[in-house]
A and B are shown apart, each in its own frame.
Chain A
Amino acid sequence: MTVPLLQLTAVAKSFGAVRALKGVSFDLRAGEVHALLGENGAGKSTLIKVITGAHSPDAGTLELAGQRVVQLSPARAHRLGIACIYQQPALFPDLTVAENIALRLEPVTPLRRVAWPARRRQAGELLHRLGATISPETEVRSLSMPEQQLVEIACALGAGARIVIMDEPTASLTQQEVARLFGIVRALRQDGVGIIYISHRLEEIFALADRVTVLRDGESVGTRCVRRENAAGPKRDVAQSTEAMADAPLLTEAQLIQLMVGREVSTLAPPVERELGDVVLALERVGCAASGVQAVTLAVRAGEIVGLAGLIGAGRTELARILFGLTPADSGQIVLQGQRVTLASPQAAVARGIAYVPEDRRRHGLILEMPIAQNIALASHRWLFPGTWLRFGAERTLALNFMRDLGVKAAGPEALGSSLSGGNQQKVALARWLATRPKLLILDEPTQGVDVGAKGELHRIIRRLAQEGMAVLLISSDLPEILSLSHRLAVMRGGTITALLPNGCQASEVMAAALGQTGERATE
């Protein structure tokens, strides 16, 4: 049996009283995609950061190709051929895309010059491979969340590493980009690279992974094979182990979920037909030259969930930003509950009962340095603190209620936003806006990074809110999610709505409309 590329043995890591990893063992072979699964806060990102040297483990050993490695630092991990796409893009906002990629590939030393033209060309090529239409000269600050994610991926690919780690690389990508990424991952596997892949989208695990390790509460609950046909991999032991498994039934999705959460998770029933209320939001040829949105006409009724589908850059987030007063519209009209309104600032939008859960939870959705309770209360000061007096008790109760309802895993309402796992941050960002009891709720990728169990719960909450009369505008790159939740689907392309599809339409129709094709099939 050959030595694995990477072997972790009994790794433990605590943050104060929080035991994020309690003795996890894990191995990665050359030429395999090893998926890492688990609920929010299970310890996946922490395990990754141990491998990349960002966290030093409290106990346990790490071996690379049979060699014990101690005192791993991010720079050393990089030299040893470990590249990582972090869950939270960790790019320098003031530098350009090319500069960011160059820095990541070749950390600058004081006396060495960087050959910028070559670097720029390389950045352009990497992005092109991913099918991203981002100019290497753009400042990262002005990129959207999915675009930043694509840049992160480009960084990792360009490093030419032996081990590539991807922590929820697809959380905010649409099917097009995902399909392209999968192509690249398969090519890497063919070349004998070991890939650790984290995702809460189970269908991706089944499409891509050879083996899967499930973490629960900082412990490994087992490693299983998910595919048979990976014998094409270059290493014999992979083939052998799959042969041995050949007769054993492969893992089903339900079993995987069972492993992850330790209980059954009920899946979402198709939407129920019911009477819708009055029109809450009516858009009449709304446009904004600055953000490239033009002539959007759409109505959302009370009790209705309208899905907004489209590719990255189709203008969905830009439309949401208009409605939330972040980039006010400069043409057309917005009618809110029968009244024509101008939404000139987020304050104005909030005062009119509009809530917006942004896609970038770390920059926009949360204030990371503030405790959970203050984050949840932040948009509700008006009703929570009448006469501007803070009411700490009421704030705490509000936070505890939402933390319970949404299953936020944290030390308590005083825990800082920065100490939460990605999925739990997302839940807090959502809680903040649910707490405002809005009339119109705009959700931008509300379940990105949220585990399957919590996702089902969030879906039920969104549907319940709609049933209670809220109008919901749902932006999501998760097609099954948007298909099952929405009463109607609006497909955007090039800054405007190009198709309105009824409840029960097919994924392929949505994709075709998003790509601007008619009739032709467009699935991965």
Chain B
Amino acid sequence: MQTSSSSESGWRGLLRRHETVLFALVVVEVITFSCLGRRFTTADNLANIVRHSVEIGLLALIMTPIILTAGIDLSVGSTLGLCAVLFGKMWRDAGLPIWAAAGGTLILGALCGGFNALLITRLRLPPLIVTLGTYSLFRGLAEAITRGTDAFTAFPESFLAIGGGQLAGLPTQAWILLAGAVVVGVLVQRTSFGRAWRAIGFSPTGARYAGLPVERSLALAYVLAGTVAAIASLTYTARLGTAKADAGVGYELAAIAAVVLGGSSIFGGVGSVPGTLLGVTAIAVLGNGLSRIPATMSNAAELTGTLTGGLLVLSLAGRALAGRGKRRIASGFQGGGTE
């Protein structure tokens, strides 16, 4: 896998430093939990961590380019829920073969993303507002379709294997996550799309004056987000064996937290895929580890939330102190006369 530092060289130092810090954090977590936790470092548990972090991992990966453009997508969790329900509907009620239903789900996910993209690029509405709307809309649709109670179960074994099976000695999800990371990583670091996303994040006006396809680049990011949310709905359904309207509630915030912890700036332009992966890992290991320590076992979920929040604040504060708002000053008031 390529590293961010080999390409976007202007931020080389900064990225490298941030990723190093994160990596050290993951190492510290692993050491702590192997000492304190019960059966933390078993192959089973490691596979477990991967299985449980794949959905948020995928969403965080595809959230990275969106945050690079200084945008945000709050609707990915709801898209996941809607896609899970529609997938069940297509398979059980419409009688489609399971893989055809899966293919259809990806298309529907892309359409959800396309709807966001349309509102953002055509009507020029802020992504925060648009996706806050579709966050409610998609979840509402999922609940309406199932009337809040219907759940889809009894999926065929071949499909459930995505959730519980192994491929070449690793959980299937590990391969899916890896593939996602490579695709998004290459898009962000190695193609002109990634360059355009970054440019838009730094300065939308500047990108427009450079003749970049601003609208098309933005649309691509949101359509991809919808598609990846659909993929996540499939792994989610396969992992739990049921598809319900509440699938993926709150995942959008977990994904955003991982991206920001991974070094992306919410103001756009700054961020990397390896950083995001490390962010996801740090949070996943934390959650799993806490549930393996006797003292914290009972309220691991709450503790994870609190500690993740603490980490986020620390990391943001650290970055702010290190850069002293370098970026904002560079783009705004370099003269210094107004400060």
Closest B residue to A73 using CB positions: B339
For A52, give the chain B residue with the smallest CB separation: B337
Do A88 and B335 touch across chains, with their CB atoms under 8 A apart? yes
Tell yes or no: A150 within 8 A of B by CB: no
Q: Mark A326-348, 1 if CB is under 8 A from B, else 0.
A: 10000000000000000000110
CA distance A103 to B110 in the complex (A): 48
Assuming the A-B contacts A74-B336, A388-B191, are A368 and B209 also in contact, with contact meaning beta carbons closer than 8 angstroms in the complex?
Answer: no
Any chain B CB within 8 A of the CB of A116?
A: no
Q: Chain A residues near B339: list those with CB within 8 A.
A: 74
Q: CB < 8 Å: which of A90, A349, A367, A369 contacts B335?
A: A90
| Residue on B nearest A418 in the bound complex, by CB | B330
B306 beta carbon closer than 8 Å to chain A? no
Expressed in whole angstroms, the minimum distance between the Cβ of B213 and any Cβ of chain A is 6
A-B contact count (CB 8 A): 116
Q: Are A370 and B191 in contact (CB under 8 A)?
A: no
State whether the Cβ of A112 lies closer than 8 Å to any Cβ in chain B.
Answer: no
> Is residue A423 contacting chain B, with contact meaning CB distance below 8 A?
no
Contacts of B198 in A (CB 8 A): 370
Across-interface contacts of B205 in A (CB, < 8 A): 363-364
Contact partner of A414 among B10, B192, B212, B330, CB < 8 A?
B10
What is the CA–CA distance of A371 and B331 in the complex, to the nearest angstrom? 13
Given contacts A103-B338, A350-B211, A392-B7, contact A378 B333 (CB under 8 A): no
- Nearest CB on A from B270, distance (A): 8
B189 (CB) vs chain A CBs: closest residue: A390
CA distance A429 to B138 in the complex (A): 44
Which B-chain residue is minimally distant from A321 (CB atoms)?
A: B209
| Contact between B9 and A371, CB atoms less than 8 A apart | yes
Given A366-B206, A390-B190: A90 in contact with B338 (beta carbons within 8 A): yes
**A374: Cβ under 8 A from any B Cβ:** yes
Contact of B192 with A390 in the complex, beta carbons under 8 Å: yes
Chain B residues lying within 8 Å of A89, measured Cβ to Cβ, are 335
Identity of the chain B residue whose Cβ is nearest the Cβ of A167 in the assembled complex: B335
Contact indicator A385/B338 (Cβ below 8 Å)? no
Cβ–Cβ contact A416 & B190, under 8 A: no
For A381, the closest partner residue in chain B by CB is: B192
Do A84 and B337 contact each other (CB < 8 Å), given the known contacts A367-B210, A379-B210, A414-B9? Answer: yes
Q: Could you tell me if A54 and B336 are in contact, using CB atoms closer than 8 angstroms?
A: yes
Interface members, chain A 407-442 (any B CB < 8 Å) = 414, 416, 418, 432
Interface residues on B, range: 35 or more
Shortest CB distance A168–B (Å): 12
* Least CB distance, B271 to chain A, in whole angstroms: 13
- Cβ contacts B310-338/A at 8 Å (1 or 0 each): 00000000000000000100110111111
**CB <8 Å contact, B211 and A346:** yes
Contact partner of A347 among B193, B195, B213, CB < 8 A?
A: B213
Q: A288 to nearest B CB, angstroms? A: 17
CB distance from A456 to the nearest CB of B (A): 27
A363 B10 Cβ-Cβ under 8 A = no
Q: Which residues of B contact A414 (CB under 8 A)?
A: 9-10
Residue contact B199 to A418, C-beta cutoff 8 Å: no
Contacts of A364 in B (CB 8 A): 205-206, 209
Known A90-B335, A388-B191, A389-B190: A369·B330 in contact at CB below 8 Å: yes
Interface string of B247-280 (1 = CB under 8 A from A): 0000000000000000000000100000000000
Task: Tell me if A369 and B331 are in contact (CB < 8 A).
Answer: yes
Select from chain A the residue with minimum beta-carbon distance to B10: A371
Given A368-B330, A385-B192, check contact A346 B209 (CB 8 Å).
Answer: yes
Q: Which of A369-398 contact B (CB under 8 A)?
A: 369-371, 374, 378-379, 381, 385, 388-390, 392
- State in angstroms the CA–CA spacing of A220 and B10 once bound together: 32
Range class of the A interface residue count: 35 or more
Q: Let me know if A197 is at the binding interface, CB within 8 A.
A: no
Contact A390 B195 (CB under 8 A): yes
Q: Given the complex, which residues of B lie within 8 Å of A53, measured CB to CB? A: 336
Given the complex, which residues of B lie within 8 Å of A349, measured CB to CB?
211
Taking CB as reference atom, which chain B residue is nearest A354? B211
Establish whether residues B336 and A90, one from each chain, have CB atoms under 8 Å apart when the complex forms: yes
B209–A358 touching, CB < 8 Å: yes
| A402 interface contact, C-beta 8 A | no
Interface hits, B167-213 → A, CB 8 Å? 189-196, 198-199, 202-203, 205-213
Closest partner residue, chain A, to B339 (CB atom):
A74
- Min CB distance, A356 to chain B, in Å? 8
Q: Select which of A326, A347, A370 is within 8 A of B202 by beta carbon.
A: A370
Q: CB within 8 Å of A: which of B44-99?
A: none
A369 and B202 contacting across the interface, CB-CB below 8 Å: yes
Chain B residues whose C-beta falls within 8 Å of the C-beta of A84 in the assembled complex: 335, 337
How many whole Å from B289's CB to the nearest CB in chain A?
A: 37
User: Are A388 and B337 in contact (CB-based, < 8 A)?
Assistant: no
Please measure, in the bound complex, the distance between the C-alpha atom of A416 and the C-alpha atom of B12, giving whole angstroms. 12
Tell me, yes or no, whether A365 is within 8 Å of chain B by CB. Answer: yes
**A30-87 at interface with B (beta carbon < 8 Å):** 49, 52-55, 74, 84, 86-87
Task: Give a binary string over A175-216; 1 marks a CB under 8 Å from any B CB, 0 the rest.
Answer: 000000000000000000000000000000000000000000
Is there an interface contact between A390 and B334, defined as CB atoms closer than 8 Å? no
22 A-B interface contacts by CB (under 8 A): A54-B337, A55-B336, A74-B338, A86-B337, A88-B334, A103-B338, A104-B338, A349-B211, A358-B209, A363-B203, A367-B202, A370-B10, A370-B198, A378-B207, A379-B212, A381-B195, A381-B212, A385-B192, A390-B7, A416-B10, A418-B331, A418-B334
**Chain B residues close to A by CB (< 8 Å):** 7, 9-10, 189-196, 198-199, 202-203, 205-213, 269, 327, 330-331, 333-339
